Structure 1
Amino acid sequence: MFRFVSAFVVLSVATCAWAYSDGAPTAVCDDMTPKHPFEPQKSKLPYTVSIEKSSLKPGEETDITISGKEFKGFLIQVRNGEKAIGSFEIDPRDKNAKNVACHGSPKSAATHTNASPKKSVTLKWKAPQQKGNFEVYVTVATDGAQFWAKQNVGNIVVN
């Protein structure tokens, strides 16, 4: 009986840890926190997020790159207050990224498609027609146990 219970616990934790190896679901759009059985890291984000152009006109595009030590997962949004805005233009052949429909908008976020180690991902974000000062947020997971959630990493002005 003890073996059965032990095996059940181990399999349950493993299932939770790998539940989103193919990307973040829409259920995490608001808090951007993976539903892993661990708490987010409190330390400074150890990854670099660079924004090619931080000032755009409506409809223009910019590249946003997450890079640094190897990571397995990510979720990225550009927000107007609490809602994801704009769209991530992802090539259908991209093997590392896909869209997530957050806050009623089909391409308003991007996430990983697999848990293979990545050192860098570059995503193309298209500005909405709405003007404003928008904030860029990322969640990056080194693995299932170590991740930084909803980190504000910069601003993009659309004017």
Structure 2
Amino acid sequence: MVIANKTTPSSPALLSVPIHQSLRSLLPTNRMLNSYLVFLSALVATQVTALPNGAPLTACGSMKPLHVPFIFAQPNSPFTLTVSSATASVGSPITVTLKSTTAATFKGFLVQARSGNSKTALGTFDVSQGTNAGKTLNCPKGTANAVTHKDATLKTEQSFKWTPPASFTGKVTMKATVVEAYALIYRDISSETITVS
């Protein structure tokens, strides 16, 4: 009488293929990995060059750069935002200067004047004078109430004229977001407080 040979789960026949070989078949091949890397590189390159002509209107409220994840924001900015006077009025505009305090250069920026915790940009910027490679931006509730870069050339200093709105009196602070490089973003750069009368 012949008894059929039954294979049990513990039978060596099931282990004839080494476990590491069967697991290897589940992992992506070198060709697949190379494809992923090419795709990611292209995506990063697209994001880096996506906004060379200035911040979009969608950045007006948050002042966050949209081309990179916010996790890249850096503390200890090598850039300062200064004003020519601590007081301003409609008839007496002030000069706002964004400047590197080290050898660092920057490619992009967004500057606004804000009052308190408000996210509304105030006043009017003029980029026709001074040292700048900037252009004005019409953020909500205003005209030329923000200034941003117009190209991605390396910069060390940018200056603009700012005039407060005629209907406003109180305290304002200049705020800036600066892009030094893809993963070097500085937010909440602030000037001294300006009293508008």
CA distance in 2, matches of 1:98, 1:64: 14
Q: Which has the higher strand share?
A: 1
TM-score (normalised: structure 2):
0.73
Provide closer, same or farther for how the CA distance between residues 42 and 5 of structure 1 changes in structure 2, counting only shifts above 3 A. closer
Residue 40 of structure 1 and its aligned partner are, at CA, apart by 4.0
Does residue 113 of the first structure (1) align with residue 145 of the second (2)? no
Q: Which is worse superposed, 56-65 or 109-118?
A: 56-65
Q: Could you tell me which of 74, 79, 83 is aligned with 1:47?
A: 79
Tell me the secondary structure at the aligned position of residue 81 of structure 2: strand
Q: CA RMSD in A?
A: 1.9
Q: Match for residue 151 of structure 1? A: 189
Which has the bigger relative contact order, CA under 8 A and spacing at least 6? 1
Which sections of structure 1, spanning at least 5 residues, go unmatched?
Answer: none
Please list every run of at least 4 consecutive aligned residues from structure 1 whose deviation after the TM superposition is greater than 3 angstroms: none
Q: Match for residue 62 of structure 2? A: 31
Q: Match for residue 70 of structure 1? A: 105
Q: Residue deviations 1:106-151, cap 9 Å, x none?
A: 2000000111101111011111111111121001111121011233
Task: For 1:7, give the aligned amino acid.
Answer: V
Q: Match for residue 51 of structure 2? A: 20
Tell me the secondary structure at the aligned position of residue 64 of structure 1: strand
Provide closer, same or farther for how the CA distance between residues 125 and 31 of structure 1 changes in structure 2, counting only shifts above 3 A. same
Q: Please tell me whether the aligned partners of residues 72 and 118 of structure 1 are also in contact (alpha carbons under 8 angstroms).
A: yes
CA distance in 2, matches of 1:141, 1:82: 20
Tell me the secondary structure at the aligned position of residue 8 of structure 1: helix
Tell me the secondary structure at the aligned position of residue 118 of structure 1: coil
Q: Match for residue 135 of structure 2? A: 98
Tell me the secondary structure at the aligned position of residue 84 of structure 1: coil
Q: Please tell me whether the aligned partners of residues 88 and 107 of structure 1 are also in contact (alpha carbons under 8 angstroms).
A: yes
Q: Which has the higher helix share?
A: 2
Which sections of structure 2, spanning at least 5 residues, go unmatched?
Answer: 1-30
Residue 37 of structure 1 and its aligned partner are, at CA, apart by 2.5
TM-score (normalised: structure 1):
0.89
Q: Match for residue 11 of structure 2? A: none
CA distance in 2, matches of 1:125, 1:13: 35
CA distance in 1, matches of 2:188, 2:57: 14
